[in-house]
Amino acid sequence: MNFITIFQYGFIQRAIITGIFVALLCSTLGLFLVLRRLSLIGDGLAHISFGGVALGLFLGVFPIYTAIPIVIIGALIILALMDKIKIYGDAAIGVISSVGIAGGVILAGISNGFNVDLLSYLFGNILAISTGEMYLSIVLSVVVLLAISFFYYDLFSITFNEEYARVAGVRVKVINVMLVVLTAITVVLSIRVVGIMLISAFIILPSVTALQIAKGFKSAIIVSTITSVIAVILGIIVSFILNIPTGAMIVVVNFIFLLFAIGYKKIASR
């Protein structure tokens, strides 16, 4: 097979374009989440999205349309549990994500068991993304990335020290709500790319890679986004050539980048 011909396929073009936007989103937001020790919120919200997707399939509605509001509500409840009820972040994520999974399983049971559609959301299928899904991903990605750039210093300040951010006049509660809502949208957009099971890897791995070699906060965002985008492109190409699942391959490439970054850090610190 000619290497260049791979890019002539419409489904590969859609996969790469969608994958790049989702990678930009996950890697940028991921850095804020990892540094705030909220890495697993992506995993938790992905589990909630399982319930949202199941509801969409049950009602015969495009699952993303049901998943987005349900995941946003779930994210806000997690925040409220942490803020108002003073439950630890990981416990709050655990509580809501398990309810999301339970809801999905019940709906799947009522509709006579799991079907192929639900499984495709569990493991993702970036090569099957439609043109409509691609445009939706681009629009929502641009919205989320613009929000991050407009509130960059507020997000940076809260991530560095929430108490100090408040005294610097940052509206911490508003920014925290915005962060979890943006994360919720990102998670739902990522479902079709990597699947519910692997979303947290998309959020965590590029950020952890960046933390090994970054020389500053902006530098960390740049390293995180570059490695994430390259991992998506390489993952799609390799998975297509070797005929293996794409989402999993992207995660493997991201993991290899992390190993290189750890090795580089070890050598550089000698």
Partner 1 sequence: MDDIIKVSGLSFKYDSIDVLKNISFNLKVGDYVGLVGYNGSGKSTLIKVILGLLKPYSGNIILFGKPQEKFNLWNKIGYMPQNISLLNPVFPATVEEVISLGLLSAKKFPKIITNADKKIIDGALDYLGIADLKKQLIGNLSGGQQQKIFLARALITKPELLILDEPSNALDSTSREQFYMILDELNKKNKTSIILITHDVGQIGKYASKLMYLEQSILFYGSFLDFCNSDKMSKLFGTDSQHIICHQHD
Question: Residue 106: which H helix or E strand, with range?
Answer: helix 89-110
Residue 85 in the binding site for partner 1 (CB under 8 A): no
Indicate the residue among 83 and 117 with the shorter CB distance to partner 1. 83
What are the φ and ψ backbone dihedral angles of 86, each rounded to 5 degrees?
60, 40
Among 203, 214, 229, 258, binds partner 1 (CB under 8 A): 214
Count CB neighbours of 228 within 10 A: 30
Q: In the window 33-52, what residues touch partner 1 (CB under 8 A)?
A: 35
State how far the Cα of 10 lies from the Cα of 161, in Å rounded to an integer. 46
* Choices 1-9, 76-84, 113-121, 152-160; region in contact with partner 1 by CB under 8 A: 152-160
CB of 27 to partner 1, least distance (A): 14
- What is the total count of residues that contact partner 1 (CB under 8 A)? 27
* Choices 18-26, 103-111, 116-124, 209-217; region in contact with partner 1 by CB under 8 A: 209-217
Residue 84 in the binding site for partner 1 (CB under 8 A): no
Among 3, 215, 242, 243, binds partner 1 (CB under 8 A): 215
CB of 118 to partner 1, least distance (A): 39
CB of 159 to partner 1, least distance (A): 8
State how far the Cα of 162 lies from the Cα of 172, in Å rounded to an integer. 7
First-to-final CA distance of the chain: 44
State how far the Cα of 203 lies from the Cα of 196, in Å rounded to an integer. 12
What does the per-residue mask of binding to partner 1 show for 154-183, with x meaning CB under 8 A? x-xx--xx-xxxxxxxx-------------
Residue 203 in the binding site for partner 1 (CB under 8 A): no
Indicate the residue among 9 and 164 with the shorter CB distance to partner 1. 164
Residue 220 in the binding site for partner 1 (CB under 8 A): yes
Of the candidates 14, 29, 7, the one whose C-alpha atom is nearest the C-alpha of residue 225 is 29
Indicate the residue among 63 and 206 with the shorter CB distance to partner 1. 206
DSSP per-residue letters across 189-246: HHHHHH-GGGHHHHHHHHHHHHHHH-SSHHHHHHHHHHHHHHHHHHHHHHHHHHT--H
State how far the Cα of 234 lies from the Cα of 226, in Å rounded to an integer. 12
Binding residues (CB under 8 A) for partner 1: these are 35, 150-154, 156-157, 160-161, 163-170, 210-211, 214-220
